[in-house]
Amino acid sequence: MSRLVLVLGDQLSENLSALKNANKDSDIVVMAEVADEATYVQHHPKKIALIFAAMRKFAARLRDDGWDVRYTELDDTDNCGSIPGELLRRADETGAKEVIATQCGEWRLINALEDMPLKLTVHPDTRFVASLDEFNDWAEGRKSLRMEYFYRELRRKTGLLMEDGEPAGGKWNFDHDNRKPAPDAVDFNGPMEFTPDDTVEEVLDLVEARFGNSFGTLRPFWYATDQGQARRALSHFIKHALPKFGDFQDAMLDDNRFLYHSVISAYINIGLLDPLEVCQAAEQAWEDGDAPINAVEGFIRQIIGWREYVRGIYFREGPDYTRRNALNHQRKLPEFFWTADTKMRCVAKAVEQTRDEAYAHHIQRLMVTGNFALLAGINPHEVHEWYLRVYIDAFEWVEAPNVVGMSQFADDGIIASKPYVSSGSYIDKMSDHCKACDYKVKDKTGENACPFNLLYWHFMDRHRDKFGGNPRMGQMYATWDRMKDDRKETVLREADQFLEKLSKGERV
């Protein structure tokens, strides 16, 4: 008897475990564009377009390869609107009684599938370097789960940048050579762009009609939507940007949205690129003498280090992770996260480019929008929902640990050993935003003082009970303690005034 093989919108890989465990001659692939997935948060229209277009192309590829694919388009009249509903409908249609799936990336959908009245066999998602069992074995019994040590295990496992059992270049980590301030000029023109073909155009019309009012600009749409295009985008990055990736990884510029970043996270996350293949391509560039070790090691660490590690944390910590709020932050997300209407130029720039591209690079996410939300005490669940909505690469398994854990410290330090907070001077050092900002980054108090300067000390002061004993923050508390009392009072008063304006929805 036929079985149904579920392929989700972020599982578009030929070597998907569900496909590998199915029989092409007798089993039936089910793929469905459904309202539940398209609306469980109000995704950026570019994200929905990428997923639907890539799903349609992948379905065509599977059919060419001989699979029987039952594909439901969003506007099909008999569309049941949810993944379990579509599976039940296809089971009715075909007489199938069993579903084969690959573990999906959000607890929400895992639970919905488990509740479905059909026999379900779930295979592990093998599109990662480490299995969840390997992560849990590594994590078991450790006092703290620092990414760096897990990363080293995966370097050994993959052999990436390893020479005779030792790290290539004599060090595991070359960050000391990275993270230079923003360059005066960037000689990379950004990610490879693709003109929409007929399939993509059809999807863009659909998305415009159904989701055109959501936050985010749909057109121009330039993302890759199949494996061939994604591989070309990867090669373009390796050749033209990887050599300087490390140097300017943390830099930000008013007039350059991508600097030397790869912009491939969405392609990896939905299955168009394989993470190991990406890392091997970067390693090859180093072996060929085309990219320096600091760039290549830094890039590989993001993928086999951070990406694998946050996935392990998401599944280890369980479904309540997105509700954690260790610092009891309760302020509402300010409206300017949607409008970009703020005098803080760095924030306005990050939100504008998020709206236009569904993309911001790591430091914009962590040290601009994330930093602001943490300093201002925004409710971390609201912050989490914002990130899940606005970025093209956002799926809960990767988004939530980055936001709830790394950026908002809401998991009480499982991921970060100290909160990622900074005053305006960090943003000034790493970017050119402050030069043209309405606020003055050099002003620590007063009418024009950069809000990051005020809020930084406010954060440190109000969370002293939690962080006062943290050795990595001792120096900052010592600086605060050395400040004169009247100066401290001014800083805290002005920060309070700023936060009051923020809560009232006044323009800040």
Contact 147, 323 (CB under 8 A): no
- 8 makes contact with ligand DLZ (CB under 6 A): yes
How far is Cα of residue 491 from the mean position of the Cα atoms in its chain? 34
Asked whether the beta carbons of 431 and 251 are under 8 A apart, the reply is yes
Cβ contact 46:223 at 8 Å: yes
**Cβ(87)–Cβ(7) below 8 Å:** no
Among 10, 393, 411, 494, binds ligand FAD (CB under 6 A): 393
Cα dihedral 141, 399, 149, 282, rounded to 10, equals 150
Return the one option of ligand FAD, ligand DLZ, none that residue 10 interacts with (CB less than 5 to 8 A, by type): ligand DLZ
Coil/strand/helix, residue 252: strand
Residue of the chain from 43, 261, 389, 463 that contacts ligand FAD (CB under 6 A)? 261
- Binding part of the chain for ligand DLZ, among 35-43, 118-126, 245-253, 467-475 by CB under 6 A, reads 35-43
Q: How large is the angle between the packed helices 147-158 and 308-317, nearest 10 degrees?
A: 120
We find the least distance from the C-beta atom of residue 428 to ligand FAD, in angstroms, to be 20
Q: Choose, by CB under 6 A, the member of 4, 5, 32, 291 that binds ligand DLZ.
A: 32
Residue 125 binding ligand FAD, by CB under 6 A: no
Write out the two tokens for 455: 């809020």
Task: Pick the stretch among 98-106, 180-188, 204-212, 467-475 that binds ligand DLZ (CB under 6 A).
Answer: 98-106
Of the two residues 55 and 473, which places its CB atom closer to ligand DLZ in the complex?
A: 55
* 366 lines the binding site for ligand FAD (CB under 6 A): yes
Report the site for ligand DLZ in 64-83 (rule: CB under 6 A). Answer: 83
Which residue number, 34 or 96, has a Cβ lying nearer to ligand DLZ?
Answer: 34
**Number of residues located near ligand FAD, criterion CB under 6 A:** 28
**How far is CA 86 from each of CA 6, 99, 483, rounded to the nearest angstrom?**
10, 12, 63
The closest alpha carbon to 212, from 44, 387, 9, 82, belongs to: 44
Backbone φ and ψ for 496, nearest 5 degrees, come out as -60, -40
Binder of residue 294, out of ligand DLZ, ligand FAD, none (CB less than 5 to 8 A by kind): none
Cβ contacts of 418 within 8 Å, gap of 6 or more: 467, 470, 472, 473
The DSSP result for 175-225, as a single string, is GGG--PPPPS------S------HHHHHHHHHHHHHHTTSSS---S-----
Tell me if 305 contacts ligand DLZ by CB under 6 A: no
Shortest distance in whole angstroms from residue 304 CB to ligand FAD: 9
Is residue 304 a contact point for ligand FAD (CB under 6 A)? no
Q: Which of 104, 242, 350, 374 binds ligand DLZ (CB under 6 A)?
A: 104
Q: Which of residues 381-400 bind ligand DLZ (CB under 6 A)?
A: 395
Q: Which residue is nearest to ligand DLZ (CB)?
A: 9
Query: Using alpha carbons only, how large is the chain's radius of gyration in Å?
Result: 23
The answer to whether residue 269 forms part of the interface with ligand FAD (CB under 6 A) is yes
> In the bound complex, what is the minimum distance in angstroms from residue 377's beta carbon to ligand DLZ?
29
Q: Least CB distance from residue 54 to ligand DLZ, whole Å?
A: 10
Q: Which of 378, 479, 468, 372 is nearest to 420 (CA)?
A: 372
**Residue (of 388, 418, 389, 390) closest to 401 by Cα position:** 388
Q: Residue 312 Cβ, how far from ligand DLZ at the closest point, in Å?
A: 16
Shorter beta-carbon distance to ligand DLZ: residue 396 or 428? 396
Total residues at interface with ligand DLZ (CB under 6 A): 17
Q: Is 398 in the site for ligand FAD (CB under 6 A)?
A: yes
Residue that the structure tokens 């479904």 belong to: 319
- Residue 295 or 495: the one with the smaller Cβ distance to ligand FAD is 295
28 binds, among ligand FAD, ligand DLZ, none (CB under 5 to 8 A by kind): none
CA 464/CA 409 separation, integer angstroms: 14
Of 5-13, 130-138, 339-347, 367-375, the segment contacting ligand DLZ by CB under 6 A is: 5-13
Residue 109 binding ligand DLZ, by CB under 6 A: yes
By CB under 6 A, tell whether 371 contacts ligand FAD: no
Cα(261)–Cα(237) distance, rounded to whole angstroms?
8
Q: Is 51 in the site for ligand DLZ (CB under 6 A)?
A: yes
Return d(Cα 72, Cα 291) in angstroms, integer: 44
CA separation for the pair 183, 178 (Å, rounded): 13
Choose from ligand DLZ, ligand FAD, none: what does 268 bind? Cβ within 5-8 Å by kind. ligand FAD
Of residues 398, 402, 385, 393, the one with CA closest to residue 41: 385
Chain residues in the site for ligand DLZ (CB under 6 A): 8-10, 32-34, 37-38, 43, 48, 51, 83, 104-106, 109, 395
Q: Residues interacting with ligand FAD, by CB under 6 A?
A: 261-265, 268-269, 299, 302-303, 306-307, 310, 361-362, 365-366, 370, 387, 391, 393-394, 398-399, 402-403, 406-407
